[in-house]
Amino acid sequence: MVKKRVTITDIALEMGITPSTVSRALAGNQRVRVDTRERVLNVAAKMGYQPNVLASSLRSGRSDTIGMVVPRINRHFFSHVISGVEAVLNPAGYNLLISQTHERQEHEIKAFSTLLRNRVAGIIVSHSVETQTFEHFRQIIDEEISLVQFDRVTEQVPGPRIVNDNFLGALRSTQHLIKNGCRRIAHFAGALHVNVYEQRLDGYRYALEQAGIDVDPALIVENCIVQEAGMEAVENVIVPQQVDGIFAASDLSALGAIRTLKELNIAIPEKVKISGFANEPFAEMIDPTLTSVEQNAFEMGNQAARSMIESLGKEDPVSEEIHIPVRLIQRRSSVLNNSI
């Protein structure tokens, strides 16, 4: 026996009133007697009524579902951003529909399509690494769906952008290496068409220039953000170029460098000082512990959600850029004495 789902009509029939009144009572509308509202609420609870948000959204044209599109759900950074978004959106009465792109633009396009079909009120997105064109944002913009970008963002699309202070993090990190005596500092960079990696490179460059150190292109390793790339870079660049410091745009490539350097018996931090980016959990667990730039993913999620809620109340998108502060965490991979 299938228990049919309870509708407002069922409640109305049960009480001898009309569905309209039930609807108003449930919605907390003022134009309904207090005692009838309470009776409706009672009967609804007793009958196990669950409002059908599909019908409600269809009729009202409003939706309380927010779409979220990320490269990968199971990456430490993104899972924490998602958690931060959820922490703000859920208490505010919104639900999250999540898609991952696996770093493929094609999947990003599909994800948008799915979210549009589901009539989400807004979309919170961090681009796939492949994404360099933005025509697929057209429909989102045309339909005036609120759009918030975070971390991997572009100015070519309107709406708030929540980003880490990548430039400052890179600047502080490189300055820290310089202060500790490094002169030939390599940079493990990412894909430079992605804003975050471009800005980290800029911060690195600026720090060197300020210190009167020439920027040597031979010391900049592109697309070096995974562990294996860090390992290879040690053999191809760090050793032959007699590098004494590494600012890595990723903790993983920093880890790769540490492992290979240890194998080669090159002392860290005595011979080479290293700092990474992201402060992954393993940074404080490896030997030596890894200096890194902490980015507050949870807070970034909170802010993205707050910006989304704000956008939902406005007519036109505000294309502001909001910076989440970063913090350099000094550990043994870059500091000689035992002061830390």
Partner DNA sequence: CTGTTAGCGCGTTCAA
Partner DNA sequence: TTGAACGCGCTAACAG
Residues lying near a second copy in the complex (CB under 8 A) are found at: 2-3, 5, 48, 50-55, 57-58, 63, 65, 72-76, 79-80, 82-83, 86, 90, 95-100, 113-114, 116-119, 139, 142-144, 255, 281-282, 285-287, 298
Asked if 333 contacts 258 with a C-beta cutoff of 8 angstroms, the reply is yes
**Residues 77, 78, 79, 84: what is their CA dihedral angle, to the nearest 10 degrees?**
90
Does 7 participate in binding DNA (rule CB under 7 A)? Answer: yes
Of 14, 17, 104, 141, the residue at the interface with DNA (CB under 7 A) is 17
DSSP 219: G
Which listed range, 4-12, 97-105, 165-173, 271-279, lies at the site for DNA (CB under 7 A)? 4-12
Among 291, 217, 297, 218, smallest CA distance to 254 is for 291
Using the minimum distance from each CB to DNA, give the nearer residue, 64 or 294.
64
Write the interaction track for DNA spanning residues 48-87; mark x where CB under 7 A is met and - where it is not: ---xx--xx-xxxx--------------------------
Does 42 participate in binding DNA (rule CB under 7 A)? Answer: no
- E-only strand ranges, 18-142: 65-70, 95-100, 122-125
Q: Which residues contact 326 (CB under 8 A, 6 or more apart)?
A: 164, 165, 166, 168, 169, 172, 293, 294, 295, 296
Does 19 participate in binding DNA (rule CB under 7 A)? Answer: yes
Strands 185-188 and 220-221: parallel
- Minimum Å distance from CB 300 to a second copy? 12
- E-only strand ranges, 118-175: 122-125, 146-150, 161-164
Q: Which does 99 bind (CB under 5 to 8 A by kind): DNA, a second copy, none?
A: a second copy
Residues that bind DNA (CB under 7 A): 5, 7-9, 16-21, 23-24, 26-27, 30-34, 36, 51-52, 55-56, 58-61
